[in-house]
């Protein structure tokens, strides 16, 4: 009997191994493809009401899947936003609250692709990275060379060259429609004279042309989304593949990117999954945060959600999109070229923002400052022709508190914090903000990272070390986030 026992144990182990491999390679485990646009405004897609931009593929996916109307990022700055998405944590809870070119996601932060990989998924990344070195172990294959004009040219190759006996996860990150506008096969798709700029931009020919070129890059992004879907279909795996399309922050224009208004932190989110979303073409109005994406993907894959994720799975909304989910959304604005510290809490009806650097103006990032759209605003400013809405990026000093009625004021243009009739809402959201900051160990350092760029021209300041073709090097201050920020698991009020 003693000689037979080791053979039986070995047989049982091999059987379990074969069973596990069979389950993973079979249809029980869905494939997952996450596609991230770079600086795509939430309402700059046809399916979100933009009648000027051409996005036929994403529009069709919305009709064949589920469109989320109230999805919010944790910040409107690419590298910390992407770190939140991959880790399910707020920026100050990742060790990566500020924009950086190389990134610095803390070593002990868990990522959902790593958990997928450990569960038997083949994981691959292609396109823009901006996540630092620590998450690289999450992927079997990485191609962060951003091949092609939008960084999308390697996506199909990545899908074709995957192992065919394992479920897969793909992190496809475009550089469209990030500035500066480059060569584009879709150039001229959009006509400037048909575009109406939002009220916080100048209604001028050059601004409309700037928007038209931005739309051209969105159409290129949409084209590659369609290519990915076609390849999945050709391989016969589309029906069991979850496609998620979203953005990392708002459009690269003044009062959008880096700001905490909907123009900065709201993202499109379209999900198609034929086997898992039965009601095609539905819309979900529940509020969802970017930190909820990681736990949702693990939930889809049937993998336990770790306590380190501050978000929660919204998979229940897939086939019951009328359910409520979050009551509160939180976001933060930390350094992205300029010293700043803002925090935001949003409900369905109201948005509240605190600003701990009210003595400073709130310009867009340097790439947008160098844009024709910003220069048009400068021209109007110098000629005394700015509207109060257009003047927002130049105001100095700024209010310490902002409150907006998002039902009556969807663009968050009119600050009602000082109105007695909204005293109750202001008091309530102040308390919610403090609860969130305490629960997540947010902090306000005395010495934040200072400006690296001129707030009027976007040019590097003289004390910033920079050589042609190299990444600028400047003084870094203390990052927001207290001593427990990296280990805290609470996401605050939900």
Domain ranges of the chain: 19-324
Inter-axis angle of helices 205-234 and 56-64, nearest 10? 50
DSSP string for 340-368: --EEEEE-SSEEEEEES-TTS--PPPHHH
Predicted pLDDT of residue 186: 95
From 5-19, 22-36, 173-187, 226-240, the region with the lowest mean pLDDT: 5-19
CB 297 within 8 A of CB 32: yes
From 11-20, 27-36, 150-159, 220-229, the region with the lowest mean pLDDT: 11-20
pLDDT tens-digit readout, 162-173:
999 999 999 999
Inter-axis angle of helices 293-301 and 78-87, nearest 10? 30
Please report where in the chains the tokens 């005293």 appear, as a residue: 423
Q: How far apart are alpha carbons 111 and 88 in whole angstroms? A: 8
From 57-66, 334-343, 465-474, the region with the lowest mean pLDDT: 465-474
Strands 168-173 and 122-127, how do they pair?
parallel
Answer yes or no: is pLDDT of 6 > 60: no
Q: What would the mean pLDDT of 288-304 be, rounded to a whole number?
A: 98
Predicted pLDDT of residue 121: 98
In whole angstroms, how far apart are CA 185 and each of 201, 221, 465, 488? 27, 11, 36, 47
* CA nearest neighbour of 380 among 391, 366, 395, 393: 391
Answer yes or no: is pLDDT of 101 > 90: no
Q: How far apart are alpha carbons 322 and 69 in whole angstroms? A: 12
Predicted pLDDT of residue 150: 79
pLDDT tens-digit readout, 361-391:
999 999 999 999 999 999 999 999 999 999 9
Q: What would the mean pLDDT of 321-327 be, rounded to a whole number?
A: 97
Inter-axis angle of helices 205-234 and 372-382, nearest 10? 160
Q: How far apart are alpha carbons 175 and 37 in whole angstroms? A: 7
Predicted pLDDT of residue 104: 72
Specify the DSSP element, H or E, that contains 369: helix 366-369
CB 393 within 8 A of CB 361: yes
Q: How far apart are alpha carbons 210 and 368 in whole angstroms? A: 11
Answer yes or no: is pLDDT of 24 > 60: no
- Helix, strand, coil percentages in the chain from 3-state DSSP, rounded to 5: 30, 15, 50
How many Cβ atoms from other residues are within 10 Å of residue 26's Cβ?
11
Q: How far apart are alpha carbons 450 and 340 in whole angstroms? A: 8
Answer yes or no: is pLDDT of 29 > 60: yes
Predicted pLDDT of residue 15: 40
Predicted pLDDT of residue 238: 97
Answer yes or no: is pLDDT of 12 > 90: no
Question: Phi first, then psi: what are they for 70, rounded to 5°?
Answer: -140, 60
In whole angstroms, how far apart are CA 433 and each of 291, 368, 410? 17, 30, 21
From 33-47, 130-144, 370-384, 433-447, the region with the lowest mean pLDDT: 130-144
Provide the percentage of residues in the chain whose pLDDT is more than 90. 86
Collect all residues with Cβ–Cβ distance below 8 Å to 126 and sequence separation of at least 6. 142, 143, 144, 147, 151, 154, 155, 158, 170, 171, 172, 173
Which residue blocks in 198-259 are alpha helix, DSSP H?
205-234
Answer yes or no: is pLDDT of 151 > 90: no
Architecture of domain 19-324: 3-Layer(aba) Sandwich (3.40)
* CA nearest neighbour of 41 among 287, 262, 207: 262
Tokens found for residue 90: 């707020």
Answer yes or no: is pLDDT of 18 > 70: no
Predicted pLDDT of residue 320: 95
pLDDT tens-digit readout, 242-268:
999 999 999 999 999 999 999 999 999
Q: How far apart are alpha carbons 92 and 80 in whole angstroms? A: 9
Q: What would the mean pLDDT of 105-119 be, rounded to a whole number?
A: 94
Answer yes or no: is pLDDT of 19 > 90: no
Answer yes or no: is pLDDT of 5 > 90: no
Q: What would the mean pLDDT of 75-92 be, rounded to a whole number?
A: 97
Predicted pLDDT of residue 107: 86
Predicted pLDDT of residue 89: 98
Of 102 and 251, more confident: 251
pLDDT tens-digit readout, 463-490:
898 888 888 989 999 999 999 999 999 9
Answer yes or no: is pLDDT of 1 > 70: no
Q: What would the mean pLDDT of 449-459 be, rounded to a whole number?
A: 95
Answer yes or no: is pLDDT of 214 > 70: yes
How many Cβ atoms from other residues are within 10 Å of residue 128's Cβ?
25
CB 287 within 8 A of CB 42: no
Predicted pLDDT of residue 356: 98
Q: What is the mean pLDDT of the chain?
A: 93
Predicted pLDDT of residue 145: 81
Confidence band, pLDDT 50/70/90 cuts, at residue 21 = very low
CB 244 within 8 A of CB 269: yes
Answer yes or no: is pLDDT of 70 > 80: yes
Question: Phi first, then psi: what are they for 259, rounded to 5°?
Answer: -90, 160
Please report where in the chains the tokens 């990052």 appear, as a residue: 479
CA 280-152-127 angle, to 5 degrees, is: 105
Q: How far apart are alpha carbons 355 and 357 in whole angstroms? A: 6
């Amino acid at each position: 009997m003693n000689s037979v026992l080791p053979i039986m144990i070995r047989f049982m182990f091999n059987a379990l191994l074969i069973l596990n491999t069979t389950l993973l390679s079979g249809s029980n485990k869905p494939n997952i493809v996450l596609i991230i646009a770079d600086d795509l405004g939430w309402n700059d897609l046809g399916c979100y009401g933009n009648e000027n931009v051409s996005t036929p593929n994403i529009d069709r996916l919305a009709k064949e899947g589920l469109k989320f109307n109230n999805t919010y990022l944790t910040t409107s700055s690419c590298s910390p936003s992407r770190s939140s998405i991959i880790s399910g944590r707020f920026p100050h809870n990742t060790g990566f609250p500020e924009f950086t070119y190389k990134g610095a996601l803390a070593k002990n932060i868990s990522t959902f692709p790593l958990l997928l990989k450990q569960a038997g998924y083949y994981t691959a990344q292609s396109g823009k990275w901006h996540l630092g070195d620590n998450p690289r172990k999450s992927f079997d294959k990485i191609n962060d060379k951003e091949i092609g004009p939008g960084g999308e040219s390697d996506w199909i190759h990545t899908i074709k060259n995957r192992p065919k006996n394992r479920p897969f996860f793909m992190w496809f990150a475009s550089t469209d429609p990030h500035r500066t506008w480059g060569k584009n096969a879709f150039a001229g798709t959009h006509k400037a004279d048909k575009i109406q700029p939002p009220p916080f931009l100048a209604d001028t020919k050059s601004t409309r042309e700037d928007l038209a070129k931005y739309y051209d890059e969105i159409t290129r992004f949409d084209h590659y989304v369609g290519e990915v879907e076609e390849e999945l279909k050709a391989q016969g795996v589309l029906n069991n593949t979850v496609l998620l399309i979203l953005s990392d922050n708002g459009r690269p224009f003044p009062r959008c990117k880096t700001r905490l208004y909907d123009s900065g932190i709201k993202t499109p989110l379209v999900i198609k999954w034929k086997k898992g979303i039965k009601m095609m073409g539905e819309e979900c109005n529940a509020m969802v945060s970017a930190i909820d994406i990681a736990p949702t993907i693990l939930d889809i894959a049937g993998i336990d959600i770790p306590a380190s994720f501050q978000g929660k799975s919204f998979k229940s909304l897939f086939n019951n999109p009328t359910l409520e989910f979050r009551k509160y959304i939180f976001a933060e604005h930390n350094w992205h070229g300029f010293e700043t510290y803002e925090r935001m809490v949003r409900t369905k009806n109201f948005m509240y923002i605190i600003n701990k650097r009210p003595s400073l103006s709130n310009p867009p990032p340097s790439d947008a400052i160098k844009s024709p759209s910003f220069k048009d605003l400068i021209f109007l400013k110098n000629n005394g022709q700015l509207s109060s809405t257009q003047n927002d990026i130049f105001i100095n000093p700024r209010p310490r508190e902002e409150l907006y009625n998002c039902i009556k004021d969807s663009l968050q243009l009119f600050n009602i914090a000082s109105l007695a009739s909204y005293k109750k809402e202001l008091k309530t959201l102040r308390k919610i903000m403090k609860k969130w900051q305490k629960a997540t160990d947010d902090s306000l350092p005395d010495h934040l990272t200072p400006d690296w760029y001129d707030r009027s021209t976007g040019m590097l300041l003289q004390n910033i070390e920079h050589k042609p073709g190299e990444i600028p090097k400047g003084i870094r201050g203390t990052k927001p986030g207290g001593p427990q920020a990296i280990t805290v698991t609470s996401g605050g009020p939900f």
